Amino acid sequence: MKLTAIPAFSDNYIWMVDDGRHAVVVDPGEAAPVLLALNERNLRLVGILVTHHHRDHVGGVEHLRSILDGPVWGPAGESTPEPRLAVVGGDNFKVLGLRWQVLDVPGHTRGHVAYFVPHGSGHPLLFCGDTLFSGGCGRLFEGTAEQMHGSLQALARLPAQTRVCCAHEYTLANLRFARAVEPTNQNLVEHARWCEEQRAAGLPTLPSTLEIELRLNPFLRCHEPQVASAARARGVDASDAVSVFAALRAWKDAFQ
């Protein structure tokens, strides 16, 4: 299996998994880059997976239906392009010979889902849309801090070697914020240097891994004393992990 991050818009990634003949794509916000990637490799599109309803994740679905030889999967709790197979956390389906597990991860939107592949491309794969980013997490457009914190903690319990396939190239901006939260975290310094080299070479910083994220992503580290202390220094109640998360998310929303 081959995993490819297809750039779209200014900072989106449409993820494609293929076996050399057939492919599935996750969150095709626009069709043109997907069509180009499929044509370059002579691949047949056999599935589309959608994590949530935002336009930059579903905008290309209708155009791709003309070449699609298979279903569209999307979250049951959200309005996404029809027809589709509606999924909820706990559902499983098989495509490309791989077993895909659906995880409920509300927070960014109310019905956001993620897709986890325990055995894919040599490592477990997580397609998390706008819930988890490298060094950060999604904004709370529809859900609550409690929901998002719970969703992130559920993802954090997946195997450490899981490859984290986020939907946006936000890593460098997220790491700048993470260093403001944990200025003495050497993992941040080293990873930021690598990410800067990647971007300078025109390469993505993704996929990350959960092992990496657990070492440097402040939104997965709300239990760490330095992270909690940084949240309390903002002058807000940060007496438990959810309140620490809420303080961090509000801080990040205004961070320059």
CA 118 to CA 177: how far, in whole Å?
A: 31
| Residue that the structure tokens 């956390």 belong to | 89
| Residue that the structure tokens 């894919």 belong to | 120
DSSP structure class, residue 110: T
Residues with a catalytic annotation lie at: 52, 54, 56-57, 108, 130, 168
Q: Which CATH class is domain 2-253?
A: alpha beta
Q: Is the pTM of this model over 0.95?
A: yes
- Beta pairing, strands 72-75 & 85-87: parallel
Q: How far is CA 204 from the centre of its chain?
A: 14
Q: Give domain limits for the chain.
A: 2-253
One digit per residue, pLDDT tens: the chain, 256 residues?
Answer: 999 999 999 999 999 999 999 999 999 999 999 999 999 999 999 999 999 999 999 999 999 999 999 999 999 999 999 999 999 999 999 999 999 999 999 999 999 999 999 986 679 999 999 999 999 999 999 999 999 999 999 999 999 999 999 999 999 999 999 999 999 999 999 999 999 999 999 999 999 999 999 999 999 999 999 999 999 998 888 889 999 999 999 999 999 7
Q: Are 15 and 96 in contact (CB under 8 A)?
A: no
